[in-house]
Structure 1
Amino acid sequence: MRWNWQQPDWPNFTYDAQRLKSREDRFLRGAGVLIGVLSHLDTGDRQDLSIELLAQEAVDSSAIEGEILDRASVQSSVAKHLGIKTDNRRANAAEAGAAELMANLFRGYREPLSDALLFNWHSLLMNGRRDIANIGQYRSHADPMQIVSGALHAPKVHFEAPANHA
């Protein structure tokens, strides 16, 4: 599978709903199974499964960006953010931020998407980082955004967006 920025028509995003239909159906069946399972679990087991799923999503999403999180630490931190008693495992800043983001999403999934909500999520995810400017806001510099991989001394630029003229 290619990244969005690797698509020939990037950044003009389009999709064919019919091509996604089988995957959407598979997702809906899986979601139905999960809802069925949850309805048969007691409160404690339902909480445990929710925490496990939220933590795994945080770990998997972070891995896409090349950041490896400890699943057990993220689980413990998600539980704490949801007010559920857990062990005293210490989470690093990235794990704690990802866990707080997932707990926030879990509690507020009905909230409409807004700039303020996106900025809050970004702030949670960056959790105290000082090496990134403009956390929790849109970028304001004119430098073009780039998708880069490779070593710092030999970066490979895969895509460069047009400059920001805000």
Structure 2
Amino acid sequence: MAIYIYQRRDWPLFTWNQTSLSRLSAKVRHNQGRLLGRMEQLNPTLQMEATLRMLTLDIVRSAEIEGEFVDAAEVRTALAQRLGHQHGTVAKNLEGRIGLLLDATQRYAAPMTEQRMFGWHASLFPHRKAGWRINPVTSPHQVVRYQAPHSYVVPGEMAAFLEWFNTTGNLDPFMAAAVAHLWFLTIQPFEDGNGRIARTISALQLARADDTPYRYYSLSAQLCKERAAYYDILEKTQGGSLDITAWLEWFLQCLDRALLDTNTQLSGLLAKSRFWEKNTGASLNDRQRTMLNRLLDGIEVKLTSSAWARLTASSPDTAIRDINDLLKQGILVKDPAGGRSTSYRLLN
């Protein structure tokens, strides 16, 4: 019969080899500091754009881990509406997912309580009765071969978890995120939704580590990329001893890869920031500024004077004047091919 980690005599007194992890945790802190430093140089509008991109990615990839699909464009629009940056009503099917993540990342300093956790679960399953599970865990997407503790011990287990979570003291915040993730998934206090809530708990703890509501990286996206390894290390750890060094090492490495992946995810946004820094003194009208932003966002259109007129709802003469002005300012250049359909691009 399998012996799970929660059946060990000293559960939940986790141990790990701090010496072997110290260099790795220092590397993660270094890369976190570099990322936050770069992002702090962006203006608030671009910081919010980065946050919208990362929160969208987090929701989409967390759902994908569970075998579910949500539309990224719809999620981004709903997030912008919820954060007050776009008018409209958040789609009903996305309200819960968005409310869950925003509560964790925007209210990261608030203590984690039983009622707050029930609220998280209710946001995912609004028609369920609030409370810890009273039945075995069931999930159509369960991949890890693991049997959670009996339901009658869950209230006591969660009381211990929440007390620890709110008093982690001097524990490295990235280590705390890793421990919390494993501990919660070992208890599995709800009948379903435990994976999504575990990843949300990690997101909250990482927001505490960053000490900002802006989000610039997504752990869930990285976990989705490494899903097979994620399930494998969870299964091995939950069936092993209370020495969780291997789990912490894997989690920190995964987090470090998430931080580094931001360079890919936000490369266009960083290029946009550099462009506007370079052209701070440019004299631009609203049409020009709007079109330049669309070009920087990667609009898929051959930029001709007729395309400019169509996209800005202006006359052909106005379009030509706008373009010629940008040519004189050294912001646009003509593409090599000339003729009647002259096209233009941003000067690199």
Task: Name the residue aligned to 1:163.
Answer: 150
Task: Name the residue aligned to 1:4.
Answer: none
Matching residue's letter, 2:146: F
Q: Is the 8 A contact 2:52 2:80 kept in 1?
A: yes
Task: Name the residue aligned to 2:337.
Answer: none
Cα distance, 1:47 vs structure 2: 0.6
Matching residue's letter, 2:110: E
Task: Show the 5 A alignment for 1:116-131.
Answer: 116-126=115-125, 128=126, 130=127
Task: Show the 5 A alignment for 1:42-53.
Answer: 42-53=43-54
Uncovered stretches (5+) of structure 2, i.e. residues with no partner: 154-348
Partner Cα separation in structure 1 for residue 25 and residue 35 of structure 2: 15
Partner Cα separation in structure 2 for residue 62 and residue 15 of structure 1: 31
* TM-score, length basis structure 2: 0.36
Q: Is the 8 A contact 1:144 1:164 kept in 2?
A: yes
Secondary structure of 2:5 counterpart: coil
Partner Cα separation in structure 2 for residue 37 and residue 97 of structure 1: 32
In the alignment, structure 1 residue 104 sits paired with structure 2 residue 107: no
Task: Name the residue aligned to 1:82.
Answer: 83
Partner Cα separation in structure 1 for residue 86 and residue 24 of structure 2: 37
Partner Cα separation in structure 2 for residue 158 and residue 104 of structure 1: 31
Cα distance, 1:46 vs structure 2: 0.7
Matching residue's letter, 1:78: L
Q: Name the larger-Rg structure.
A: 2
| Cα offsets for 1:52-106 (capped at 9, x unmatched) | 11121222222222222222222221221111126x697461x332122222222
Partner Cα separation in structure 1 for residue 140 and residue 23 of structure 2: 33
- Structure in which a larger fraction of residues adopt helix: 2
Matching residue's letter, 1:10: I
Q: Is the 8 A contact 2:56 2:72 kept in 1?
A: yes
Q: Is the 8 A contact 2:136 2:148 kept in 1?
A: yes
| Cα offsets for 1:97-120 (capped at 9, x unmatched) | 212222222220100111111111
Secondary structure of 1:165 counterpart: helix
Higher deviation after alignment, 63-72 or 109-118:
63-72
Task: Name the residue aligned to 1:70.
Answer: 71
Matching residue's letter, 1:96: E
Cα RMSD of the aligned pairs, angstroms, is 3.2
Partner Cα separation in structure 2 for residue 10 and residue 146 of structure 1: 20
Task: Name the residue aligned to 1:145.
Answer: 137
Partner Cα separation in structure 1 for residue 58 and residue 5 of structure 2: 26
| Cα offsets for 1:107-162 (capped at 9, x unmatched) | 20100111111111112233x4x4xx43x4212x3x33356658xxxxx9923334
Partner Cα separation in structure 1 for residue 139 and residue 116 of structure 2: 24
Partner Cα separation in structure 1 for residue 32 and residue 131 of structure 2: 33
Task: Name the residue aligned to 1:3.
Answer: none
Uncovered stretches (5+) of structure 1, i.e. residues with no partner: 1-6, 151-155
Task: Name the residue aligned to 2:216.
Answer: none
Higher deviation after alignment, 8-17 or 43-52:
8-17
Partner Cα separation in structure 1 for residue 112 and residue 36 of structure 2: 24
CA gap of 1:66–1:48, structure 2 versus 1, over 3 A, is same
Matching residue's letter, 1:115: E
User: Which stretches of structure 1, 4 residues or longer, exceed 6 Å deviation after superposition?
Assistant: none
Instruction: Indicate the structure whose relative CO is greater, using CA pairs within 8 Å and at least 6 residues apart.
Output: 2
Partner Cα separation in structure 2 for residue 65 and residue 22 of structure 1: 33
Task: Show the 5 A alignment for 1:21-36.
Answer: 21-36=22-37
Partner Cα separation in structure 2 for residue 91 and residue 23 of structure 1: 41
Aligned identity (percent) is 23
